Amino acid sequence: MSEANEKTVVSVVIPALNEENGIGEVLRRLFEAGACVTRDFPSVGEVEIMVVDDGSTDRTAEVAEAVEGVKVLKLAKNLGYGGALKAGFAEARGNWLVFLDADGTYPPEFLVDLVKAMLESDADIILGSRMSGADSQMPVVRRAGNLFFARLLSWITGRTISDTASGMRIFKKSVLERLGRLPDGLDLTPAMSTAALHERMDIREIPMAYEERAGASKLNPVTDGLRFLWTILRTAHKYNPLKIFGFIGLVMIVIGVGYGIGPLAYYFEVQRVEDWAIYRLVLVMMLVVSGVNVIFFGVMANVILAAGHRMPPFRNSLLARLLLQPFVIRHLWLMGVVLMFLAIGLNYEGLYTYLTSQKVFIHWSYVLTGAMLFFLGLSLVLWGSLVRVLEDRDNSSSQRKK
């Protein structure tokens, strides 16, 4: 139920920047919710409430200090939303941490629901989801953005999540070490969600109401949306690069094949390849060979990172399930050798005449096609050999530990 035999201490951390008008009411409601928690759940011994004043220039700290029982942490300079939260986490005494905004957009009373869900599930993280059907006043643009990020993260991780950037959640303090370095800005929430899903933590959601704040929002849909996107992709790249590089490589290959359809159709029609197609076919070769290398860079990166994280490689896509199979890894070099021999077989007459007479009589299209097959084969041989070396090293390390 809790992480220790002693009663659980729940620390609620509220980052605040120039919120003198709303912080008092939020703290009043939060104290009432905290009293309900300690009354209704005997295993919770205390609810600690902390306001982190993130360099405010108004009376935010003064208003918070006037509320009895509130701990106020004053930062000498503005660290940003994420920086303020991390400063609060470091000072908090609780083994369970909760955070929410100081502007009243997240209902302080929802603390009771979060604690109850945590006690019942013993999950690592529980999010209050603004996208799960509860009453929400979120603007249409932000709702669309959150829906996009949720779909993106669900695609990357293979696990469904509806609200990646929820600003009210409860989690075990012990998970912070596993989450790694979190950003200092508003993108802390999607970064936490992305890392937790990749760390295979038990992360759950419960519906939560949401009210739009009074006054101007500190979140810019464009700049912060781009930052959220970059944070999700950057964090995912640390765990599952094949998901991203595999997609990029496949797009390159599909574009390359698409460019090659025209010359190929023309060849079947007139049984020859014209000189006008040479530039197009060179581009096809570059795209296909580059796409294959990008994909297998992702394969190698997945194997290396999985070893570093001491967990199996992520196989949450068709491409990953195909290429990260032991049989494929073991025989990748053989597939490469076959392609290299096909390249030689396609051009053996040209190679023979060149070696004997220093002249080439075959059409350039044979040379170009053979070069593409040879480079593809060589890439597969090298990538296959490298992945085998990495796997053999990991197996040797595991045997020595036994």
- Domain housing 154: 8-237
Q: Are residues 298 and 175 part of one domain?
A: no
pLDDT tens column, 84-140: 999 999 999 999 999 999 988 899 999 999 999 999 998 999 999 988 766 666 778
332 burial via Cβ count (<10 Å: 0-12, 13-18, 19+)? buried
Domain end: 201, 220, 237, which one?
Answer: 237
- What string of DSSP letters covers 327-348? HHHHHHHHHHHHHHHHHHHHTH
Flag whether 2 is in a domain: no
CA distance 181 to 177: 8
Amino acid present at 381: V
Same domain, 200 and 264: no
Examine the fold and report which residue of 194, 213, 237 is the final residue of a domain before the chain moves on.
Answer: 237
pTM: 0.78
pLDDT at 9: 97
The segments of the chain whose pLDDT lies below 70 read 1-5, 133-137, 212-218, 309, 391-402
**Whether residues 281 and 232 fall in one domain:** no
**What is the tens place of the pLDDT at every residue in 314-325?**
777 788 888 888
Same domain as 183, residue 321: no
DSSP class of 370: H
* Same domain membership, residue 205 and residue 289: no
87 domain residue, yes or no: yes
Place of tokens 């950003």: 183
CATH of the domain at 181: 3.90.550.10
User: 225 and 330 share a domain?
Assistant: no
| Total number of domains in the chain | 2
Q: What does the DSSP 8-state code read for residue 3? A: S
